[in-house]
Amino acid sequence: MNLGAWMCGVLVIPFTVVGLIFAILKEKATNIVGGFNTFSEEEQALYDRAAISRDIKKDCFIWAGLMLVGAVLSYFITPYMAMPTFIIWLVLFIKEAHIDPHKAFEKYLL
């Protein structure tokens, strides 16, 4: 049993599903974005919802592709290929994550 391939392969599914949700629902999907959904309706109107949705969709598909590559490399080369895959994902995730919701969405202000 190749644990590295399984660890990466399992994450392809939720990242793809979330990416598809944002691709299909577009601006409506911003209602499920953590931090953004805590803003008042008036405050949400100040932000570009389409850009938020587009960026989250893009990030999820990138993460799904990364995990798919990690799963394939872990399966065919060595299970330890999952470790750099998760490190790369962690760097990409931390780059996009913010504690303060206003700071997280300031680049989307209209």
What local confidence, expressed as pLDDT, does residue 23 receive? 96
18-63 pLDDT, tens per residue? Answer: 999 999 999 999 999 988 988 999 999 999 999 999 999 999 999 9
Q: What pTM did the predictor assign?
A: 0.91
In which band, very low, low, confident or very high, does the pLDDT at 86 lie, cut at 50, 70 and 90?
Answer: very high
In this structure, what are the phi and psi dihedrals at residue 87, rounded to the nearest 5 degrees?
-65, -45
Distance CA 77, CA 95 (A): 29
Q: Tokens at residue 35, please?
A: 């931090």
Residue 109's CB: how many other CB atoms inside 10 A?
9
Distance CA 51, CA 26 (A): 9
Q: Do 56 and 22 touch, CB atoms closer than 8 A?
A: yes
